[in-house]
Amino acid sequence: MHPKELLAKPVGWLSRANDWAATHMAAVFGMAGTIWIFFTSPLVAQFMPLAIRNTFFYYSSGWVQLFALPLMVWVGNRLQRTTDAQSEAQHQALTHIATVADKILVNQEAK
Centre a 10 Å sphere on the Cβ of residue 68 and count the other Cβ atoms it contains.
15
pLDDT tens-place string over residues 10-54: 568 887 888 888 888 888 877 777 778 878 888 888 899 999 888
Identify the pLDDT of residue 8: 61
Residue 6 has pLDDT above 60, yes or no: no
pLDDT tens-place string over residues 97-111: 999 999 998 888 887
Residue 38 counted as domain residue: yes
Residue 7 counted as domain residue: no
Residue 1 counted as domain residue: no
Please give the Cα distance from 67 to 32 (Å, whole number).
Answer: 19
Please give the Cα distance from 96 to 77 (Å, whole number).
Answer: 29
pLDDT tens-place string over residues 45-55: 889 999 988 88
Residue 89 counted as domain residue: yes
- What are the helix (H) ranges across the chain? 3-7, 13-29, 32-45, 50-63, 69-110
**Domain hosting residue 26, numbered range:** 12-110
Q: 56, exposed or middle or buried, with CB in 10 Å at 0-12, 13-18, 19+?
A: middle
Number of domains in the chain: 1
